[in-house]
Amino acid sequence: MAASRKLKLGAFMRPVSLHTGAWRYPGAIPDANFNFPALKRFIRKLEAGKFDAFFMADHLAVLNMPVAALRRSQTVTSFEPFTLLSALSQATDHIGLVATASTTYDAPFHIARRFASLDHISGGRAGWNIVTTANPDAAQNFGLDEDMEHDERYARAREFFDVVTGLWDSFADDAFRHEVMGWTPPDGICVPE
């Protein structure tokens, strides 16, 4: 018998479109990157269409474009990924929620904690797009005069990944037993058995 093949569909968003002039398309929502009700409609449509994941690209600096172009661009900025994806997780049931997180300008503990939180809030649907940021504008946002060299960024990323996954694996799945003798949780409160 031949193995079953399945196509995996992922929507690459920022969070709406990567085209700077997408807001000009007839019927487009000009403020879509900051319009939460619209984003909820979009992700629900993706989920209904059997998409496997909603991937939110992120940047740590305003896009390096001429100011005149930025004024006409829909992609200048958008919601912070973890806040948005946590909120969207409550409007969906199955679609994966993938966020970009840079190993260049963050700390492993913070990334581990954010993704673990998103994973728990979403019921196991979090995904990490690991990037090494090479952008002098991003470096300045973090108080640095220049960005890291290529080899240093990638060496940091390898160690960063090991630390993050080590933090995730540092507790056994049943490490925290929420048991209190004689206490019964109120209706609507879920306590693991």
Query: Which CATH number characterizes residue 39's domain?
Result: 3.20.20.30
Instruction: Tell me if 80 is assigned to some domain.
Output: yes
**C-alpha pair distances (Å), 192 with each of 25, 116, 124:** 49, 17, 15
Which band of pLDDT confidence, cut at 50, 70 and 90, is reported for residue 18? low
pLDDT at position 148 is 85
Q: Which of 24-38, 44-58, 98-112, 176-190 is least confident? A: 176-190
Compute the mean pLDDT over every residue in the chain, rounded to the nearest whole number: 84
Tell me how many domains the chain contains. 1
Distance CA 93, CA 136 (A): 39
pLDDT value of residue 150: 93
% of the chain exceeding 70 in pLDDT: 80
Measured CA to CA, the distance from residue 47 to residue 54 in angstroms comes to 9
190 has pLDDT over 60 = no
42 inside domain: yes
**Would you say residue 144 lies in a domain?**
yes
Q: Are 99 and 116 a contacting pair, CB within 8 Å?
A: no
Instruction: Give a yes or no: residue 177 inside a domain.
Output: no
Token reading at 131: 């990037």
Is residue 38 one of the residues assigned to a domain?
A: yes
C-alpha to C-alpha distance for 94 and 92, rounded to whole angstroms: 6
Average pLDDT for 5-20: 79
Q: Is this prediction's pTM over 0.85?
A: no
What is the domain range of residue 109?
A: 10-19+33-62+73-168
181 domain residue, yes or no: no
51 in a structural domain: yes
Average pLDDT rounded to a whole number, residues 104-120: 93
**109 has pLDDT over 60:** yes
Chain centroid, CA 185 distance in Å? 32
Q: Is residue 108 part of a domain?
A: yes
